[in-house]
Every structure is written in structure tokens, then in C-alpha cells.
């Protein structure tokens, strides 16, 4: 078996993200479909304006969070496929050497689609359980008639089956593309290092600095994940703090929970994959007598600036999104308070973020400390 169920299980990060994405999309889209069927029955004063606002909010939220999460899971999937091929170069290379075609090997990667399927199915199921409560929440002001939760097979199909199949296909296609490397390069587990640095310049950078730089450069997708995790944290937490005035508390808690799960998940997965990917380097540095703090500082430290950039982007993003919601979407609705940048929320979030990030770093550097030198070197 080339890629087994066990390997698919490791894609839990994708499952969690898919779950969150489908959860949010199901809530808002199902609601939008159900309320659209009732449009003609809306009679309350201000009801139609509210209807329009609610429908557009649903579309914006579903598109923004769904789209954001979909992009992340695609990049995560590609990352996993590449990582699998990089770390199993020997086995895959031997299969190729024996005469298996690229596609024959790559087709096994379809199992990665399972993780998406599981995540989407769970997200959909969870959303369905929560839908009655959500409908209640959306209609707290009784501006609309009573709405019953309906099941829409087409929506279920689009949110569960379509993503699963597309991700399975994507995994196979990308694996096929990745396997096009010559057999010998796979066997030697040779990666494309040479093209990355211009050769003519010999720089005078000390080893530890160079290590930080090459670790970050070697895996650019991880930079994205870490930025994304900071982005999620920053945007979701600030938004949920500021939104208390604009919307319901439940909504705020929901957004905050999704943000935190996503942020932790991606941050932790990224950092541990940094540690795993550099286990040999770290072991060798330890053999030579580099201190733990030097090793973890050099290997993990390079990502810190990117996480702060992610945080800043998240801050801007949530500000812009809320501003747009308030000034455009809810323009016709009365009693919506003025929204301005919430400096206090930003500061609280920043402090929380620094704490979270440094704790995750600390956990990973503990892992580095515990790396058994001999077993790393034997494998």
C-alpha cells in the first residue's frame, strides 16, 4: 500500500478546517435558501430591508470564510502531498524504478480526499444540529415569520461530495506532477536547493542566521500557514469582541471558537512539522554541542515576524469587513450602532496572541529538547 488510511488520518488539520468551513457555509446558506422561500410573507415594518441585509450578510460570510478556508485547505493538501513524496522518496523511487507509472503511484493519493469528506460531513451534521437554534437567533426581533429548517439535498451534495471528490482529484493530479522527477532524484531524496540561492555571492552570514533563513525559505507553505493562523486569531478574536455590540453574543462566541480552533490547529501543525522536518539538522547540531535554545531559536524563530505580519493583516481585514457590513449591508437597517476601530479589543487580542504564540513555541522547543539523538541519527 503506497498511501494508507493512516496517512490520511494525519491530515486532521484539513478535516478540521473543512469542518469549520462547511459548518459556517451550511448555517448561512441553508438559512438563505429557507428564508428566500418566505420572502413574500415578510410583512413587518423594516422587514424587507432586514431581509436584504441578512441575505447579503449570509453571502458575504459564507463566501469570505468558506473561500478563505477552502484556499487554506487546498494549500495544506498540496503541502501534505509534497511532504509525503519528499519523505517517502526512497519507497516511491523504487516503485518507479521497478516500472510503475507516475499515475499508477499517484492514484493512491485519492485517500487524502477522505479527510476532506470526513471534515465536511461532520461540519454539515454539526450545522444541521445547530440550525434550529441559529434560525431562532437570526430572527430574534421577530421581523420575519416563523421559518422551519428544511433539508436541501443539493446543498449537502455541494458542501460534502463535491469538495471530497475535488480534493481527491487534486491530490492525485498534484502527486502525479510531483512524481515526474527523475527516479534518481527521488531515491537520493534530492530537493531543489540549488536553484534557490544565487551562487555567485558567498555571503558572510553566521551559521545560525543562515539556518533561520534557509529553514524559512525551504518551506514557504509553512510561512503561509503561520501567517494564516495569526490572521485567523487576530481577525476572529477582534471581530468577536467588537461584534458584541453589533450582533448577538452567541454569534460572537461562535466566531471566536472557530478562529481559535483554526489558529491553534494551523500554528501547532506548522510548528511541529518544522521540528519534524528539521529533526536531523537539530540532532546534528546537538551532537556538535549547540545549546537547545540556539537550536529552537534558529529553527523556529524565523517564523515570528511572519506571524506578526499575519496579525496585522487580520486586524485590517476585520476592521474593513465590519466597516463594510455596517455601512453597506446594514445601511437601511435602524438601530445599528456606529462602528469605529476598537483599539482596546486590538490590544487585548495582541496580548492573547503573543501569549498563545510563545506557548506554542515553548511546547515545540520542549520537543526539540526531547529529540533522542541516537534514534534520529539511526533512521
Partner 1 sequence: MIAVSDITKSYGAGGNRNQVLKGISLQIADGDLTVILGASGSGKSTFLNVISGLERPDSGSVLYGTSDITKLSDGELTQFRRDNIGFIFQQYYLLPNMTVEKNVRMGADLADNREYAEIITAVGLEDRSSKYPSELSGGEQQRVSVARALAKKPKVLFLDEPTGALDEQTGRQVLDYICKLHKEYAFTIVMVTHNQNIAEMANTVVKINSGKISEVLQTKSKRPLMR
Q: Which residues bind partner 1 (CB under 8 A)?
A: 188, 190-191, 193-194, 197, 199, 202, 206-208, 210-211, 214-215, 218, 280-281, 284-292, 373-374, 377
The whole-angstrom separation of Cα 1 and Cα 5 is 10
Where helices occur in the chain by DSSP H, the ranges are 5-9, 12-36, 47-87, 89-98, 102-106, 112-138, 153-156, 162-178, 183-187, 207-218, 220-246, 249-277, 279-288, 292-300, 304-324, 343-370, 373-378
* Set of cell numbers at residue 147: 421559518
Classify burial at 281, counting beta carbons within 10 Å of its beta carbon; exposed 0-12, middle 13-18, buried 19 or more: middle
Residue 39 vs 191, nearer CB to partner 1: 191
Residue 108 vs 292, nearer CB to partner 1: 292
Q: How far is the CB of 75 from partner 1 (least distance, A)?
A: 21
Residue 148 vs 374, nearer CB to partner 1: 374
Question: Residue 13 CB: number of other CB atoms within 10 A?
Answer: 24
Cα atoms found within 13 Å of the Cα of residue 126, Cβ hemisphere only: 16
Residue 242 vs 296, nearer CB to partner 1: 296
The whole-angstrom separation of Cα 219 and Cα 86 is 12
Q: How far is the CB of 229 from partner 1 (least distance, A)?
A: 24
Q: How far is the CB of 83 from partner 1 (least distance, A)?
A: 15
Q: How far is the CB of 95 from partner 1 (least distance, A)?
A: 21
3-state secondary structure of 143: coil
Q: How far is the CB of 89 from partner 1 (least distance, A)?
A: 12
Residue 257 vs 293, nearer CB to partner 1: 293
* Set of cell numbers at residue 78: 498540496
Q: How far is the CB of 362 from partner 1 (least distance, A)?
A: 17
Residue 76 vs 279, nearer CB to partner 1: 279
Q: Please, are residues 212 and 118 in contact by the beta-carbon 8 Å criterion? A: no
Non-local CB neighbours of 12 within 8 Å, separated by 6+ positions? 115
Residue 169 vs 197, nearer CB to partner 1: 197
Residue 191 vs 244, nearer CB to partner 1: 191
Non-local CB neighbours of 170 within 8 Å, separated by 6+ positions? 74, 77, 78
Q: How far is the CB of 379 from partner 1 (least distance, A)?
A: 10
Q: How far is the CB of 176 from partner 1 (least distance, A)?
A: 24
Q: Please, are residues 300 and 361 in contact by the beta-carbon 8 Å criterion? A: yes
Nearest to 96 by CA among 105, 109, 87, 88: 105
CA-to-CA dists, residue 231 to 100, 237, 359, 375, angstroms = 42, 10, 17, 37
Residue 10 vs 292, nearer CB to partner 1: 292
Q: How far is the CB of 290 from partner 1 (least distance, A)?
A: 7
Q: How far is the CB of 82 from partner 1 (least distance, A)?
A: 15
Residue 39 vs 291, nearer CB to partner 1: 291
Q: What is the dihedral of CA 257, 259, 261, 267, to 10 degrees?
A: -160
Amino acid at each position: 500500500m503506497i498511501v494508507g488510511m493512516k496517512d490520511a488520518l494525519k491530515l486532521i488539520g484539513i478535516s478540521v478546517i473543512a469542518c469549520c468551513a462547511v459548518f459556517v457555509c451550511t448555517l448561512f446558506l441553508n438559512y438563505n435558501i429557507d428564508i428566500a422561500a418566505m420572502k413574500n410573507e415578510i410583512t413587518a415594518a423594516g422587514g424587507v430591508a432586514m431581509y436584504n441585509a441578512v441575505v447579503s450578510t449570509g453571502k458575504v460570510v459564507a463566501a469570505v470564510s468558506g473561500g478563505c478556508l477552502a484556499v487554506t485547505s487546498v494549500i495544506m493538501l498540496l503541502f501534505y502531498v509534497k511532504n509525503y513524496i519528499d519523505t517517502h522518496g526512497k519507497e516511491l523511487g523504487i516503485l518507479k524504478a521497478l516500472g510503475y507509472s507516475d499515475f499508477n503511484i499517484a492514484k493512491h493519493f485519492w485517500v487524502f480526499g477522505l479527510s476532506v469528506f470526513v471534515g465536511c460531513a461532520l461540519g454539515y451534521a454539526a450545522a444541521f444540529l445547530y440550525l434550529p437554534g441559529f434560525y431562532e437567533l437570526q430572527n430574534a426581533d421577530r421581523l420575519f415569520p416563523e421559518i422551519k429548517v428544511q433539508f436541501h439535498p443539493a446543498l449537502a451534495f455541494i458542501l460534502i461530495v463535491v469538495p471530497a471528490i475535488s480534493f481527491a482529484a487534486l491530490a492525485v493530479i498534484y502527486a502525479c506532477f510531483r512524481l515526474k522527477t527523475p527516479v534518481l532524484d527521488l531515491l537520493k531524496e534530492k530537493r531543489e536547493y540549488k536553484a534557490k540561492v544565487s551562487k555567485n555571492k558567498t555571503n558572510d552570514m553566521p551559521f545560525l542566521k543562515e539556518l533561520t533563513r534557509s529553514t524559512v525559505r525551504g518551506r514557504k507553505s509553512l510561512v503561509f500557514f503561520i501567517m494564516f493562523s495569526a490572521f485567523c486569531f487576530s481577525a476572529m478574536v477582534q471581530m468577536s469582541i467588537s461584534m458584541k455590540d453589533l450582533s448577538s453574543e452567541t454569534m460572537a462566541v461562535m466566531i471566536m471558537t472557530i478562529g481559535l480552533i483554526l489558529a491553534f490547529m494551523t500554528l501547532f501543525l506548522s510548528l511541529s512539522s518544522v521540528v519534524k522536518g528539521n529533526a536531523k539538522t537539530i540532532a546534528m547540531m546537538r551532537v556538535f554541542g549547540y545549546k537547545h535554545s540556539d537550536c529552537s531559536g534558529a529553527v523556529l524563530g524565523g517564523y515570528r515576524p511572519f506571524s506578526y505580519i499575519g496579525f496585522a493583516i487580520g486586524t485590517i481585514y476585520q476592521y474593513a469587513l465590519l466597516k463594510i457590513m455596517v455601512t453597506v449591508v446594514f445601511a437601511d437597517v435602524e438601530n445599528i450602532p456606529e462602528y469605529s476601530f476598537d483599539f482596546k479589543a486590538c490590544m487585548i487580542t495582541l496580548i492573547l496572541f503573543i501569549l498563545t504564540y510563545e506557548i506554542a513555541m515553548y511546547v515545540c522547543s520542549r520537543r526539540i529538547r526531547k529529540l533522542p539523538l541516537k534514534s534520529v541519527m539511526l533512521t
